[in-house]
């Protein structure tokens, strides 16, 4: 609360009235609306509180439209009446972007879940889309730990990265077309399936990573790569972060075209998963190692790929880069290895409170950031008192560190200390304070610091031009004025 006490409700925004409710009821059936009453506190609360359980809005109405036309009618009405909106997908965002601050209306994409056509293909849950494509021999070019809940619209709105980024790159490349409802209700129909189209500005790119501040994404056309017939996963135990880097270099040399993912985590991350998720996660290596890496390969020939991965493991062990390693023997083991890496955020949340930072920084200094944050918190006498652990994990292949600090309760002192430390590192190495999670509310204040004024001015002009009343996801993304 203290951190955001500067936020004041914009008095230009209208408060929800009975007339507004009647309008929404005329557009949506009763199961498409949640309106505050004495009996639905829990249901409404689940939309008002974010995944981190830090932010709690006071929205009195959730609209769950089923069609683009319904979205358009609702947004147009809100714009005319100056009712502020928060678009919400799976509500798994980690920067407080998907939940209201005050009484904004939540437009959820839960019911916008139709897969329109396969030729090549919003509220669609990422995992459901991937399963749908698996049956057709294809896959999503995106895979993230929250895949069971997050929506494709949310993924596009946050330009989510994840573990397949190493192989397929950014959504800026994989998205072929978008359908977006603009704040005035206009339906921007750019659901193109063309790989190449150089006619005019590529407007869809504006909405990828716009975090609900420019419009509501209601349709996505995405390039779905052919699914790998052969997938192999290995987990390695390593003695130092230098060895993690060497293992990555060796894997690129030896696994080249089949390397799909290279993730790492430290021993403290491992212990958190072991302590809090022991019932659902199996641990493959008996001894503990200071660092772990997970490698996934994807190709077309299982024997060939397995041989390459075994050769890599043998070479890396012979060179003293890797201490120990295990290759999954079947699908169940593969999922089990992945669940260690994917379980880390959940395990952090079991401690009580967790701060999640997500930075881009050269791999060579990546882990020094974790060590520096740890020693500063120790020197400030915060360890044990409130702070429990400082852990590092993330996407080595993309130079993307996730740094998490678990604590008994949230504290402004801890936040200030961590943020100034991280900022020093990203300034020094020209890194980014938000690699893949976006700005939302938590990081809005860093935009001015992260980009030249001229660029932020253009962003504001675009926002003002598309959303002159500022109804789309207010208080987020831009530094608050």
Pick one of 72, 251, 386, 473: the residue that binds ligand FAD (CB under 6 A).
473
Q: Does 138 bind ligand FAD (CB under 6 A)?
A: no
Task: Find the helix or strand (DSSP H, E) in which 71 lies.
Answer: helix 68-81
Among 72, 79, 146, 469, binds ligand FAD (CB under 6 A): 146
CB of 94 to ligand FAD, least distance (A): 5
- Our CB check for ligand FAD shows the closer of 305 and 346 to be 346
For residues 141 and 168, the answer to whether their CB atoms sit within 8 Å is yes
Kindly state the DSSP code that residue 480 receives in the 8-state scheme: P
Decide whether 328 or 348 has the Cβ nearer to ligand FAD: 348
Smallest distance from ligand FAD to CB 425, Å:
20
> Does 145 contact ligand FAD by CB under 6 A?
yes
Among 32, 57, 87, 470, contact with ligand FAD (rule: CB under 6 A): 87
Options 57, 65, 141, 153; binder of ligand FAD; rule CB under 6 A: 153
Footprint of ligand FAD on 204-243 (CB under 6 A): 211-212, 216-217
157 contributes a contact to ligand FAD by CB under 6 A: yes
Per CB under 6 A, the list member of 90, 183, 298, 392 interacting with ligand FAD is 90
Shortest distance, position 395 Cβ to ligand FAD, whole Å = 7
Q: How far apart are CA 106 and CA 104, in angstroms?
A: 6
Range list of H helices, 105-218: 126-134, 152-158, 165-168, 171-174, 204-207
Burial class (CB in 10 A: 0-12, 13-18, 19+), 381: exposed
**Cα–Cα nearest to 105, from 79, 66, 67:** 79
What distance in Å separates the CA atoms of residue 464 and residue 281, rounded to the nearest whole number?
48
* 129 vs 236, beta carbon nearer ligand FAD: 129
Residue for token digits 């998720």? 277
Rule CB under 6 A: choose which of 97, 141, 183, 474 binds ligand FAD. Answer: 97
CB neighbours of residue 278 within 10 Å: 11
- Cα(87)–Cα(448) distance, integer angstroms: 24
Which residues, numbered 426-465, are part of the site for ligand FAD (CB under 6 A)? 436-437, 440
Residue ranges in 42-61 that form contacts with ligand FAD under rule CB under 6 A: 51
Determine the 3-state secondary structure of 334 from DSSP.
helix
Cβ closer to ligand FAD: 124 or 224?
Answer: 124
Any alpha helices (H) in 210-352, and if so which ranges? 241-255, 267-276, 302-318, 331-342, 344-351
- Alpha-carbon distances, residue 467 vs 25, 99, 204, 332 (angstroms): 25, 19, 16, 48
Q: Are strands 61-63 and 324-327 parallel, antiparallel or unpaired?
A: unpaired
Residue 189 or 424 with smaller CB distance to ligand FAD:
189
Residues in contact with ligand FAD by CB under 6 A are 51, 86-94, 97-98, 109, 122, 144-146, 150-151, 153-155, 157-158, 160-162, 211-212, 216-217, 345-346, 436-437, 440, 473
């Amino acid at each position: 609360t203290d951190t955001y006490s500067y936020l004041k409700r914009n008095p230009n925004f209208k408060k929800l009235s009975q007339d507004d409710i009647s309008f929404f009821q005329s557009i949506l059936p009763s199961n498409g609306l949640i309106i505050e009453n004495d009996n639905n506190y829990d249901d409404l609360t689940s939309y008002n509180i974010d995944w981190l359980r830090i932010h709690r809005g006071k929205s009195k109405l959730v609209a769950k439209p089923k069609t683009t036309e319904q979205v358009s009618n609702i947004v147009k009405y809100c714009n005319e009446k100056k009712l502020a909106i928060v678009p919400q997908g799976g509500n798994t965002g980690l920067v407080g972007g998907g939940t209201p601050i005050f009484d904004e209306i939540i437009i959820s994409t839960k019911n916008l879940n139709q897969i329109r056509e396969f030729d090549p293909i919003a509220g669609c849950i990422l995992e459901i889309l991937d399963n749908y494509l698996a049956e057709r021999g294809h896959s999503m070019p995106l895979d993230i730990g929250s895949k069971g809940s997050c929506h494709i619209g949310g993924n596009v709105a946050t330009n989510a990265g994840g573990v397949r980024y190493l192989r397929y790159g950014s959504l800026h490349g994989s998205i072929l077309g978008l359908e977006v409802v603009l704040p005035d209700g206009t339906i921007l129909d750019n659901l193109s399936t063309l790989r190449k189209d150089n006619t005019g500005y590529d407007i869809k790119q504006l909405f990828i990573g716009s975090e609900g501040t420019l419009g509501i994404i209601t349709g996505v056309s995405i390039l779905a790569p052919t699914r790998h017939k052969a997938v192999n996963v290995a987990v390695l135990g390593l003695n130092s972060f230098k060895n993690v880097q060497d293992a990555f270099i060796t894997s690129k040399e030896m696994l080249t075209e089949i390397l799909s993912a290279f993730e790492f985590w430290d021993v403290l991350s491992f212990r958190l998963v072991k302590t809090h998720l022991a019932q659902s996660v199996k641990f493959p290596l008996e001894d503990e190692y200071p660092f772990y890496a997970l490698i996934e390969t994807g190709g077309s020939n299982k024997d060939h790929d397995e041989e390459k991965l075994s050769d890599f493991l043998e070479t890396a062990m012979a060179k003293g880069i890797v201490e120990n390693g295990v290759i999954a023997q079947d699908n169940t083991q593969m999922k089990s290895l992945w669940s260690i890496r994917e379980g880390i955020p959940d395990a952090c949340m079991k401690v009580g409170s967790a701060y999640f930072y997500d930075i881009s920084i050269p791999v060579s200094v990546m882990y020094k950031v974790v060590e520096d944050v740890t020693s500063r918190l120790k020197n400030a006498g915060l360890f044990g008192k409130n702070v429990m652990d400082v852990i590092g994990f993330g996407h080595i292949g993309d130079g993307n560190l996730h740094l998490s600090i678990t604590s008994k309760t949230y504290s402004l002192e801890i936040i200030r200390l961590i943020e100034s430390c991280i900022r020093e590192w990203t300034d020094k190495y020209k890194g980014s304070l938000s690699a893949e999670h976006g700005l939302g509310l938590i990081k809005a204040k860093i935009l001015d610091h992260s980009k030249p004024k001229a660029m932020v001015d253009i962003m504001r002009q675009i926002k003002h031009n598309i959303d002159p009343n500022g109804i789309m996801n207010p208080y987020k993304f831009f530094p608050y004025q």
